[in-house]
Amino acid sequence: MQGNAIEVWDKFFATHTPQPIEFHAPFKAIFELKDHAGAVAFLEAAIRHGQGRTWMYEVLPLEMQLAERSTDDIERAMLSRSDFRTVDQSSMMLSAAYLVRFQQLPRALHLYRQASSLNPARPEPYALGLRLAKKLNDADAVQWAALGILSHVWTTDHQPLHRQAENALLDLEQQLNRAGKTAEAKAVAEKMAAAKTHDLEIILRWQGEADLDLIIEEPNGTLCSLQHPQSPAGGVLLHDGMGPRQKETYEQIIYPQALTGTYRIKIQHVWGRVVAKRALLTVTQYKGTDAETTKTQVIALTDEETVVRVQLKQGRRTQPVTVSAVPHMAHPPVPVRNRSRIVQSSAQSRQARDDFLRTRRLTQPGAPRRAGVGYQPVISVIPEGSSLSASAVISADRRYVRMRLTPTFSQVTDVFTFSFLNSGGGN
């Protein structure tokens, strides 16, 4: 029966080219009959004759497993799925997850390593790869995954990953020592220490019910701040704090691997009262190495931002990091946090900001009720004129490019809405 199904579907796809929607009905009929061998024959024939679709590569390994095909056949189907899809990190990660489901752990680990080479700054390939490496007892893969985790800092949730990676390396070092491989164990310890070093760490501390912001202007002109928590120069905002609790009143930005050059540290007094109008800035260079230096200085806060320059002479980063593109805005939107905050750089907007914050404090539960009005301007941009957006898709064989052009024509005629945001009790 299986041989007949193969011949039938081979002949069909050799003489017919169905539309994508026309594949569903025959395959649904085969699926409802639970003819898994026939389903495999259908899918393989379509793929052989150049009529494969993405969903076929998803379903084929599952049908092969139900049809009790060999492990090698299932593995080949999974790898064909990876080849069929676009070669990017997301597709490789998804293919690796499928391979794990079918217990093809070595192949999945290989894909995780390939995915990390496409974008070394992402934590997922290292974290998932470490889990597989430990199951396979692959010492080389354990080192790759654990060192990859330790050499990167992502966001505030990176600490559990770092602990797992450090424990994996310590276990590996212990195993090597027990096996009498002291030189290899020493090399693992040295690599772990090197992975935990940081080129630059900047911490700003203060006391009081206030909020300060730390903004780093990097040598290549990019920023690391609350609006840009991960920067192209390798900076990561680990903590953005505010008063009144002292354990929260600090800002921390770290560069595991930084670009060489001058860093302009900008300190902005956003709102509130800082004790003695002073803050403490600590800058550590080459942390964890023999060349580690730490400089602490007192910053006198003013209405204008304070700028401190730091020169990093030997940064280990040579190329910027690829981060998610964020549209440039002169005044980026302010994230909502536990307390309202408005970050405005110009001196003209400071009075409006203070009035707004004062009104919010007066309207909070338990606060004395007084008459007051707060205004929060919201600026909307209305496009006018002609614009053209374009997108391009390259075919899998790199022979064709499909362009999609979308022209837009708009004209502003009348604007009738002019709204005020009114808060407070009283006229």
DSSP-assigned letters across all residues of 174-222? HHHHHTT-HHHHHHHHHHHHHHT-EEEEEEEE--SSEEEEEEEE-TTS-
Q: Which residue type is seen at 65?
A: Q
The answer, yes or no, to whether residue 179 has pLDDT greater than 90, is yes
Contacts made by residues 323-326, CB under 8 angstroms, sequence distance 24+:
323/121, 323/230, 323/231, 323/232, 326/227, 326/228
Q: What is the pLDDT of residue 190?
A: 95
The answer, yes or no, to whether residue 355 has pLDDT greater than 70, is no
Q: Please give the Cα distance from 99 to 74 (Å, whole number).
A: 9
DSSP-assigned letters across all residues of 336-357? P-SS------SGGGHHHHHHHH
| Tens digits of residue pLDDT in 146-175 | 999 999 887 667 888 899 999 999 999 999
Q: What is the pLDDT of residue 329?
A: 33
Q: Which residue type is seen at 229?
A: P
- The H or E element that residue 404 is part of is strand 401-410
- The DSSP output letter for 107 is H
Q: Please give the Cα distance from 165 to 160 (Å, whole number).
A: 9
- The H or E element that residue 56 is part of is helix 54-66
Residue 201 vs residue 50, higher pLDDT = 201
The predicted model gives 191-219 an average pLDDT of: 95
Residue 59 vs residue 181, higher pLDDT = 181
| Tens digits of residue pLDDT in 6-36 | 888 888 888 888 887 778 788 888 878 888 8
Q: What is the pLDDT of residue 57?
A: 73
The answer, yes or no, to whether residue 53 has pLDDT greater than 90, is no
* Window from 59-73, 141-155, 192-206, 352-366 with minimum mean pLDDT: 352-366
Name the residue among 2, 54, 52 with its Cα closest to residue 30. 2
Q: What is the pLDDT of residue 409?
A: 76
CB-CB neighbours of 5 under 10 Å: 19
| Tens digits of residue pLDDT in 356-410 | 444 444 444 444 444 444 555 666 666 677 778 787 777 666 677 878 788 877 7
Q: What is the pLDDT of residue 376?
A: 56
Q: What is the pLDDT of residue 73?
A: 79
What is the signed CA dihedral for 329, 330, 333, 337, rounded to 10 degrees? Answer: 130
The predicted model gives 71-83 an average pLDDT of: 69
| Tens digits of residue pLDDT in 256-310 | 999 999 999 999 999 999 999 999 999 999 999 999 999 999 999 988 899 999 9
Residue with tokens 């070669």: 87
What pTM, to 2 d.p., does this model score?
0.61
CB-CB neighbours of 170 under 10 Å: 14
Q: What is the pLDDT of residue 392?
A: 79
The answer, yes or no, to whether residue 1 has pLDDT greater than 50, is no
On average, the pLDDT of the chain sits at: 79
**160 preceded by a cis bond (ω within 30 of 0):** no
Strands (E), 30-106: none
